[in-house]
Amino acid sequence: MERTYSHLADGTSYGEQAARALGVDPRQLFKTLLVQVDQRLVVALVPVAGQLDLKALAAAVGGKRGQLAAPAVAERATGYVVGGISPLGQRRRLTTVVDDSATAHPTVWVSGGRRGLQLELAPDDLIALTDAVVAPVSR
């Protein structure tokens, strides 16, 4: 399912704003983050209500250390603008890790590729479409 909302430049996080606007539990709405793990980019999907554990993410993909990618790097790699980065349809397929909490929900929400657009899908579909590793990467 696809849902739109009016994105406001009010200083709140994109994910929190989307959860509020759509009336979605922030544990069920996942933010898409790009992380530099050692020498490669990795996509991490974690609940808006949580934070990414960089060490756990690096370990999940066999790396040693991770740091968030710069916004310009994330935009160039995915073809999407920050705040609207979707885990689906990126310019090139990157290793993707979905936090294991996603499997506790019948559906989850992810960005549809632009600010103000969210997609609802079953966690198994998200995992299959992104060929993701499932691991505990949020806290």
72 or 7: whose pLDDT is higher?
Answer: 72
Q: Are 138 and 50 in contact (CB under 8 A)?
A: yes
Q: What is the DSSP string of 28-92?
A: TBEEEEEEEETTEEEEEEEETTS-B-HHHHHHHTT-S-EEEPPHHHHHHHHSS-TT---SSS-SS
Confidence of residue 22 (pLDDT cuts 50, 70, 90): confident
Residue 77 is predicted with a pLDDT of 96
69-103 pLDDT, tens digit per residue, is 999 999 999 999 998 999 999 999 999 999 999 99
> Sign of the CA dihedral 109, 124, 102, 82?
negative
Answer CATH for 2-135 from 3.40.50.300, 3.90.960.10, 3.40.190.10, 3.60.140.10: 3.90.960.10
Lowest pLDDT segment from 15-24, 50-59, 69-78: 15-24
Indicate the pTM of the whole model.
0.92
Residue 83 is predicted with a pLDDT of 87
pLDDT cut 70: percent of the chain above it: 96
Residue 33 is predicted with a pLDDT of 97
